[in-house]
Structure 1
Amino acid sequence: MSTRTTEHKEGKATVKVVYYTSKTLADGAHPFVVRITKNRKQVYRYTGLSLLPKYWNADKKEIRRSYPEPKREELLKELEKWRKKYEAAADILAENDEEHDAKAVFKKAVEGRKAQRRVKLLAFIEELATSMITTGQVGNAGVYRDLGNQLAKFIGAESNAPEPPIGKGLIAAKAAWIKQYDVPLDHITVAFCNEWEATLRATGITEITLSLRFRTLRTVFNKAIAAGLVKASNYPFTANAAERHKFQVGKFDVTTAKRAISREELRKLEALEPVNDRQKLAKDVFLFSFYCGGINFVDLAQLRWRNLEGVNEQGYPVRLNYKRQKTGGKFSLPLLNPAALMLTSYKRFTFSSPDSYIFPILDLQKHQNPDQVKNRLHKVLGQVNKDLKELGKQAGIAAPLTTYVARHSFATTLKMRGENTAVISQAMGHKSESVTAVYLDSFASDVVDAAFKGLL
């Protein structure tokens, strides 16, 4: 006698985010719900997101283009997060071949959320910093780690914990401290921000540093929301004018003294003869930054000969192509004669292969890992800025010169010559200027190239 068995294969639940017109909210909007269908049975869960009917295209079942940006894009992203979250739960149950109904999908998704909530504030900040280091964003990682260190001090004082171990060689001790005294991400409330601000102010901290700390904390919170680690409803920062009861990151006074010099003052620096190689490097760094879109020191120091493209009739390189360390943005700039001539003068000293650094700041043999590069850049930048201040005095320039002044001078010179702010922003890579960015894509590269001629 033979027996025959039939293998059971559990089907997968279908997940869809639906504009639920059967329910009308107080403001006339309809909510979006997640609909799970399994074995012809459906269950619904509210997402907390809604939309007025005038912005919904019932025929195409999509949000109309008339819904203002960036709200439309943000809403679409949030809806997609909800769908993916429950889609992942449905996938897991189907792959495990577990017999289940639609409600089980929601239960599985809730289990995932509970697991995610175990990630805490300081641990999440350290995770972000570590991720940045692996992608070469050492400077940004330092900003995040500094935030974590300052928060650890405050959190420790709040709970009468011992001073957090901070510094090189204390990685294990710091990790152990965080594990014991860390707080949930939703510990960041309006009250927490107000108390931390008062504590920081008592130390005599500057407004600019306060702004940096809280802007970074706000970014951390936004990343945590995007990762599903904390609810958007717990957001403690002001998102619009109506939320004055929340913490306002924009309240800090970040105005500074004049940082740009005039084109006439820059010509004085160009005409100045440095007394030694160190001053020559400082002068060249400043002028190259000015002529190349305000390129910052970190990017300039890491330029290699392979970043140059083309050669003109005089044998000078034609373009500079590089990737900005801070944002990852890609730049292609025309090399004006003063900058091209400067590069040519360095070639016989620093060129050994296309991978060689252009400027004599980093050494391929000595500076191989991110920490070595970071430490070297920090040391040289301090010396360059010191030398620039001395050069400025010699040239009769009143404003103290720094590499940052070169960046400001580039923008100011073009603005004084009537260039469009959006073109200047594109040349400088101001990705954070979202309003300007809407228009930037429409500018052809030759428009930006033409703007550079105003520097001469």
Structure 2
Amino acid sequence: MTTVNLFFDTRATKDGLGVIKIIVTHNRAQRLYTTGIKTDAEQWKQLPKKGEKLDNRVKDETRLKLYADIYSTPNGFYRRAESIIEALGVNFDFDTFKDLYDNWGIEKKVEAEKTDLLKALSAKSETLLKNGQVSHGTNFGALGKSLQRFIHTLTKSECKEYGLSVGNVRNPQPLKLEYRHVTPDFLKHYQEWMEHEGKAPQSPKSKPTGVSITTVSIYTRALRTLFNEAIEAGIVKQESYPFSTRKGSSKYSIPESENIKKALSRTDIDKIKSYVPEPDSMEQRAHDLWLLSYYGNGMNVADICRLKRSNLTADYLHFERTKTKVSNKKPLIISVKLRDEMRQIMERHGHTDKNKNAYLFPFLVKCKDSKEEKQAIHQVIKMTNKYMKRIGEKLGIEGDLNTYAARHSFATTLQRTGAPISFIQGKLGHKKSTTTEIYLAGFEPEQESKFLSEL
């Protein structure tokens, strides 16, 4: 708990007067902050010490001015100290208090716009969308809306605990979430809310439901990214960073995604390879795209859709992953050795335009912007997953037979044949080997038995 009181410094000044100071107590520690107001002992004695009203019979102009300088709202020294303490809430520290107290009414070096987390999320989302990073841009925008919904569910006491100013019915305050409000406790509370009410209701009659841990992880990692950028820009101090990767830390740890291994066994992969779908059907297209991803270094569907004739050479397919295109300073080109099966798939579903700048497949030909491209790619993925699920049911394959499974299966099959992680990492186009390890499902039972028999 933090409190504020008045203190009269009676150490002699040149004119023999004392100085009124603000004394702030926080966790039993005390600090003094001057008001710069000099007065004599008699005026100090008559001054109310806890903000009580001054006797309305007082006519002394000096005493009236002294009272106003200390207690007027909002600029009186006592009142501004109270306001700062209330605004900081659980984030209180003496250095921040001093900075705000000393600069009261003065334009701050860091503009308020830069400390507004909701505006920063909106700006980040807009920038990413303009750069064609639709998925990331959408995530940052969705996070902003999610945080606003969460704040509206907080009680008055919870808002006060986090230092949020929401006003009242007569004087409502615009919703504003600053970096300083996002504490470890705030994030833990936000995660709990996400798991129970994070998914907005689809109609006025329905109730909100919880989201998966994977969604919580995606949102809080986006929030961490924003904090990292704010620290680098000097907007947020390192000591205010609410995240931690260390177990047992009092700070907030981002939950691990529900990373269910999606790789298939060699037997199941062979079943898919051998399956013969109905010619010229959606089933055949889904089957072909899944195999193209599997053979093509686990290429995701977004990159398949964006392939152009210029990506092809006589024996190789060269492409840059859309996911890392903007973030990589140096282009990371992935080369895929063309197999006969891949050539046949391209021949069956390829776009008729043979111009080198034409799309290899016709999925994005009619799209006018990145938003339409995103929708078209989503539809291709949706239909591929739909028909691959049916194929999986026919073949008796358990689990999701989706496009992720093709990428994971490519990586794990290489691992099971003895390929080093560094080789698999390069084929997948990962910056870090730790990312590659997430894709690896481990060895099949017979391989594990063989390894263990050597003990």
So what's the TM-score if we normalise by structure 1? 0.60
- Alignment partners' CA distance in 2, 1:435 and 1:254: 15
Q: Distance in 1 between matches of 2:333 and 2:398?
A: 32
Aligned with residue 301 of structure 1, among 292, 302, 305: 305
Equivalence for 2:150: 154
* Contact 1:116/1:228 (8 A) holds in 2: no
Could you tell me whether the CA contact under 8 Å between 2:128 and 2:137 is conserved in 1? yes
- 1:236 is aligned to 242
- Output the amino acid matched with 2:239: S
Aligned partner of 1:188: which letter? V
CA distance in 2, matches of 1:377, 1:263: 28
Letter of the structure 2 residue corresponding to residue 393 of structure 1: E
CA displacement at 1:121 relative to structure 2 = 0.6
- Paired residue secondary structure (1:290): helix
Equivalent in 108, 117, 121 of residue 117 of structure 2: 121
Alignment pair present for 1:413 and 2:430: no
For structure 1, which runs of at least 5 residues remain unmatched after alignment?
1-106, 161-178, 312-317, 438-456
Q: What's the CA shift string for 1:224-275, capped at 9, x where partnerless?
A: 212222111110011445x7110111x446242x411123322222222222
> 1:245 aligned to 246, 250, 254, which one?
250
The answer to whether the 8 Å contact 1:322/1:332 transfers is yes
Let me know the Cα RMSD of the aligned residues: 2.7
Counterpart of 1:324, as a letter, is R
1:320 is paired with a residue whose SS is strand
The residue aligned with 1:58 is none
Query: Which secondary structure does the structure 2 equivalent of 1:131 belong to?
Result: helix
* 1:227 alignment counterpart: 233
User: Matched residues in 2 for 1:236 and 1:149: separation?
Assistant: 21
Q: Counterparts in 2 of 1:24-63, with a 5 A limit?
A: none
Cα separation, 1, equivalents of 2:390 and 2:115: 50
Matched, 1:218 2:218: no
> What residue identity is the alignment partner of 1:415?
Q
Aligned pair in 2 of structure 1 residues 433, 151: CA closer, same or farther (>3 Å)? farther
Shift of 1:189: 0.7
Aligned to 1:320: 317
Cα 1:414/1:433, change in 2 over 3 Å: closer
Deviations 1:313-353 (A, max 9, x none): xxxxx122222111215223132313542355147643342
Identity among equivalent positions (%) equals 29
One-letter code of the match for 1:358? L
CA distance in 1, matches of 2:175, 2:285: 47
Cα displacement string for residues 297-324 of structure 1 (whole angstroms, at most 9, x for unaligned residues): 1111111111112x1xxxxxx1222221
**1:273 equivalent in structure 2:** 276
Alignment match, 1:18 = none
Look up the SS of the partner of 2:334 in the other structure.
strand
Q: Tell me which residue corresponds to 1:453.
A: none
Asked which structure has the greater CA Rg, the reply is 2
CA change 1:347–1:380 in 2 (3 A) is closer
Question: Is contact 1:225–1:232 with CA below 8 Å preserved after alignment?
Answer: yes
SS at structure 1 position matched to 2:153: helix
CA distance in 1 between counterparts of 2:390 and 2:312 reads: 31
Structure 2: segments with no counterpart, 5+ residues? 1-102, 157-172, 198-209, 438-455
Pick from 126, 130, 133: which aligns with 2:126? 130
Q: Which residue of 1 aligns with 2:363?
A: 361
Residues 277 and 284 of structure 2 are in contact (CA less than 8 Å); yes or no, is this contact kept in structure 1? yes
Find the aligned partners of 2:293 and 2:368 in 1 and give their Cα distance: 25
**What is the rounded CA distance, in whole Å, between the counterparts of 2:425 and 2:351 in structure 1?**
34
Aligned equivalent of 1:285, options 283, 286, 289: 289
Q: What do residues 6-57 of structure 1 show as CA deviations (whole Å, max 9, x unaligned)?
A: xxxxxxxxxxxxxxxxxxxxxxxxxxxxxxxxxxxxxxxxxxxxxxxxxxxx
Query: Which residue identity is paired with 1:420?
Result: P
Kept in 1, the 8 Å contact 2:309–2:354? The answer is no
SS at match of 1:332: strand
Alpha-carbon distance in structure 2 between the residues aligned to 1:433 and 1:152: 36
1:142 to 138, 143, 146: 138
Post-superposition shift, 1:398?
A: 2.8
Letter in 2 for 1:325: T
1:430 is matched with: 430
Measured in 1, the distance between the counterparts of 2:395 and 2:126 equals 44
How far off is 1:157 after superposition?
2.9
Given that 2:308 and 2:359 are in contact with CA atoms closer than 8 Å, whether structure 1 keeps it comes out as: yes
Q: 2:334, 2:389 → 1: CA distance?
A: 30
